[in-house]
């Protein structure tokens, strides 16, 4: 096991990682930006270093500052969390070349899955269904038009280096495709330094289902079931749950087999997530992309499996063998997570940073709050607006919703605006209660509930 881990992140995930380290008896190093001087992770870590200015580029994305901090403190591993450098293959390589273990998959795993076209090609080669579309970069608008002819509209243009919805364009006609093609390419170049795009059939109101996988360095791989992440706004997930109301044991088995087969195909190690789209009408599932990091929504999987995914990440990176067998993994109960953001739902979810004067967190059986905020803490404006995750685990989905309602009523954060009140309304929606939702649910919900 490692003796000291540097946590190259901030916010709730930095706190989450420090907790896992402490339970494993591993010392921790926190790094923080000038905007995060008073942050909880800097206080909870055994030692903490300021690594630069408030801008992510100057601190949490500053590879040389982070490596220096690891060397000064004699850290033997770095946990990247999610976002920032978590899926940066170059950073993972720099770590290894400095003799510091990167807690995650190999640089090659990260690079392979970071190229969404390559990922599609590999999955296809291993008979995992992928969304109909191109398996090579689409370099000209003529090629894009030919593909659209074959696929039929609507189609979607995606950036090869994208993911998470950035640089996507939905097109319903030749005219739109021609204009979207050039803008998609230049947007991809600006955002990712890679102008490669590809084209897929645009699926109608699918559900977003992802499978958690866990792999050791010796080829042992298991899956830990699915998460339904269809409740999104502008490609930001807001509510996640497991099991998915749309997945039965048979579909779960199939998705799990696809995910394991895909991970084996690239000799994957550590934790990862395979994203699929589920076509509600045909019940067909298609591989979409793979995330090579611990995800924000990992707690719902932890709640129904009893497995601490962050501890497992550390143990696997330290070379421990996976002691889980697929047929021994039992998914029990139901879990729902609401991402609490410092945003104003009444004003188009604009960020609402500032000082928290008063905080009261809900409690009780089956309630978990993963957060870095405290009374007196000032939320900086430089980072994303996630300030807490409220996770509820109960026997049934309905019980989860009942307890969630009570917990959301109890949760008090003043005076910053948050999404807490918004979730109280969402979970009372009759279609949500029935589990009858897809990736367009929130769009419609917001439209129907405007100016009330
Ligand atoms: C799609 C899709 C439908 N068809 N691709 C969004 C985030 C990124 N990971 C990929 N995403 C999607 N890709 C095809 N071929 C639907 C989504 C999608 C989505 C689209 C519109 C509104 C909300 C959405 C939420 C999740 C996924």
pLDDT-derived band at 119, boundaries 50, 70, 90 = very high
DSSP letter for each residue of 226-286: EEEEEEEETTEEEEEEES-TT--HHHHHHHHHHHHHHHHHTT--EEEEEEEEE-TTT--EE
- Pairing mode, strands 27-33 and 4-7: parallel
Task: Provide the b/e sequence for 73-87 (b: ≥16 CB within 10 Å).
Answer: bebbbbbbbbbbbbb
How far is the CA of 117 from the CAs of 135, 197, 229, 290, 334, in angstroms?
Answer: 6, 8, 22, 11, 34
293 has catalytic annotation: yes
To the nearest 10°, report the CA torsion of 96, 12, 61, 4.
-30
- Mutation to probe ligand 1, out of 133, 168, 184, 205 (largest number of atoms < 8 A from CB): 168
H/E stretch holding 441 reads helix 441-448
Question: Is residue 124 over pLDDT 60?
Answer: yes
Q: Is any atom of ligand 1 closer than 6 Å to the C-beta of 232?
A: yes
> What CATH number has the domain spanning 4-103?
3.40.50.20
Average pLDDT over residues 208-220: 98
State the closest ligand 1 atom to the C-alpha of 155, by its place in the atom list counted from 1.
Answer: 15
- Active site residue: 16, 111, 293, 368, which one? 293
Average pLDDT over residues 134-157: 97
Q: Is any atom of ligand 1 closer than 6 Å to the C-beta of 276?
A: no
Q: Is any atom of ligand 1 closer than 6 Å to the C-beta of 291?
A: no
**Is 262:122 a contact under the CB 8 Å cutoff?**
yes
Nearest CA to ligand 1 atom 1: 202
Task: Provide the b/e sequence for 108-141 (b: ≥16 CB within 10 Å).
Answer: ebbbbbbbbbebbebbeeeebebbebbeebbeeb
How far is the CA of 52 from the CAs of 58, 66, 69, 102, in angstroms?
Answer: 5, 10, 11, 21
First to last CA, the chain: 55
H/E stretch holding 321 reads none
Average pLDDT over residues 240-267: 98
Question: Is residue 163 over pLDDT 90?
Answer: no
Question: Is residue 134 over pLDDT 70?
Answer: yes
Superfamily of domain 207-451: ATP-grasp fold, B domain (3.30.470.20)
Average pLDDT over residues 42-66: 98
| Per-domain boundaries in the chain | 4-103, 132-201, 207-451
Q: How many residues are listed for the chain in this entry?
A: 452
> For 395-419, what is each residue's pLDDT tens digit?
999 999 999 999 999 999 999 999 9
Beta pairing partners, 237: 232
Question: Is residue 451 over pLDDT 70?
Answer: no
Question: Is residue 87 over pLDDT 60?
Answer: yes
Return the ∠ at Cα 189 (arms to 183 and 190), rounded to 5°.
90
State the closest ligand 1 atom to the C-alpha of 203, by its place in the atom list counted from 1.
Answer: 4
Chain position carrying tokens 């009408």: 281
Nearest CA to ligand 1 atom 25: 439
Residues with Cβ within 8 Å of residue 348, at least 6 apart in sequence: none
Return the ∠ at Cα 428 (arms to 231 and 439), rounded to 5°.
15
Distance CA 443, CA 447 (A): 6
The rounded Cα 286 to chain-centroid distance in angstroms is 18
Average pLDDT over residues 121-130: 98
Supply the pLDDT for residue 15.
99
pLDDT-derived band at 259, boundaries 50, 70, 90 = very high
Supply the pLDDT for residue 416.
98
pLDDT-derived band at 450, boundaries 50, 70, 90 = confident
**Is 266:304 a contact under the CB 8 Å cutoff?**
no
Q: Is any atom of ligand 1 closer than 6 Å to the C-beta of 165?
A: yes
Q: Is any atom of ligand 1 closer than 6 Å to the C-beta of 235?
A: yes
State the closest ligand 1 atom to the C-alpha of 200, by its place in the atom list counted from 1.
Answer: 15
Question: Is residue 166 over pLDDT 80?
Answer: no
> Whole-model pTM?
0.97
Supply the pLDDT for residue 111.
98
The DSSP letter of residue 202 is -
pLDDT-derived band at 357, boundaries 50, 70, 90 = very high
The DSSP letter of residue 88 is -
pLDDT-derived band at 303, boundaries 50, 70, 90 = very high
Supply the pLDDT for residue 123.
98
Closest CA to 240 of 395, 419, 424, 390: 390
- Angle of helix 141-151 versus helix 174-192 axis, rounded to 10: 120
CATH class of 132-201: alpha beta
pLDDT-derived band at 452, boundaries 50, 70, 90 = low
> For 197-210, what is each residue's pLDDT tens digit?
999 999 999 999 99
């Amino acid at each position: 096991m490692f003796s000291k881990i540097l946590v190259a992140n901030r916010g709730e995930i930095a706190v989450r990682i420090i907790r896992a380290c402490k339970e494993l008896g591993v010392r921790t190093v926190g790094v923080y930006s000038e905007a995060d001087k008073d942050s909880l992770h800097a206080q909870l870590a055994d030692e903490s270093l300021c690594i630069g200015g408030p801008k992510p580029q100057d601190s949490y994305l500053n590879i040389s500052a982070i490596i220096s901090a690891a060397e000064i403190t004699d850290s033997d591993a770095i946990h990247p969390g999610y976002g920032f450098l978590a899926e940066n293959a170059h950073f993972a390589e720099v770590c290894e070349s400095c003799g510091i273990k990167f807690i995650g998959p190999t640089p090659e795993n990260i690079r392979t899955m970071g190229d969404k076209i390559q990922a599609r090609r590999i999955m296809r080669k291993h008979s995992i269904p992928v969304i109909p579309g191109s398996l090579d970069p689409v370099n000209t608008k003529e090629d894009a038009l030919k593909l659209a002819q074959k696929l039929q509209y609507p189609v979607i243009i995606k950036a090869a280096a994208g993911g998470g919805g950035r640089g996507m364009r939905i097109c319903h006609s030749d005219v739109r495709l021609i204009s979207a093609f050039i803008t998609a390419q230049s947007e991809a170049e600006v955002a990712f330094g890679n102008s490669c795009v590809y084209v897929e059939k645009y699926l109608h109101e699918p559900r977003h289902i992802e499978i958690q996988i866990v792999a050791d360095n010796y080829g042992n791989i298991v899956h830990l079931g699915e998460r339904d992440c269809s409740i999104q706004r502008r490609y930001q997930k807001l509510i996640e749950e497991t099991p998915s109301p749309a997945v039965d044991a048979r579909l779960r088995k199939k998705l799990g087999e696809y995910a394991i087969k895909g991970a084996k195909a690239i000799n994957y190690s550590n934790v990862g997530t395979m994203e699929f789209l589920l076509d509600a009408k045909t019940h067909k599932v298609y591989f979409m992309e793979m995330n090579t990091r611990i995800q924000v929504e990992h707690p719902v999987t932890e709640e129904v499996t009893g497995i601490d995914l962050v501890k497992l990440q550390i143990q696997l990176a330290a070379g421990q063998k996976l002691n889980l067998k697929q047929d021994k993994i039992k998914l029990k109960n139901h879990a729902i997570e609401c991402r609490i953001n410092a945003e104003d739902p009444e004003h188009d979810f604009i960020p609402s940073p500032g000082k928290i004067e008063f905080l009261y967190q809900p409690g009780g059986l089956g309630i978990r709050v993963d957060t870095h905020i405290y009374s007196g803490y000032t939320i900086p404006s430089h980072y994303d607006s996630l300030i807490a995750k409220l996770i509820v685990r109960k026997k049934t989905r309905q019980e989860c919703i009942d307890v969630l309602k009570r917990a959301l009523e109890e949760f008090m954060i003043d005076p910053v605006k948050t999404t807490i009140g918004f979730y109280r309304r969402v979970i009372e929606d009759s279609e949500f209660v029935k589990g009858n939702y897809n990736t367009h649910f929130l769009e419609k919900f917001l439209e129907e509930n405007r100016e009330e």
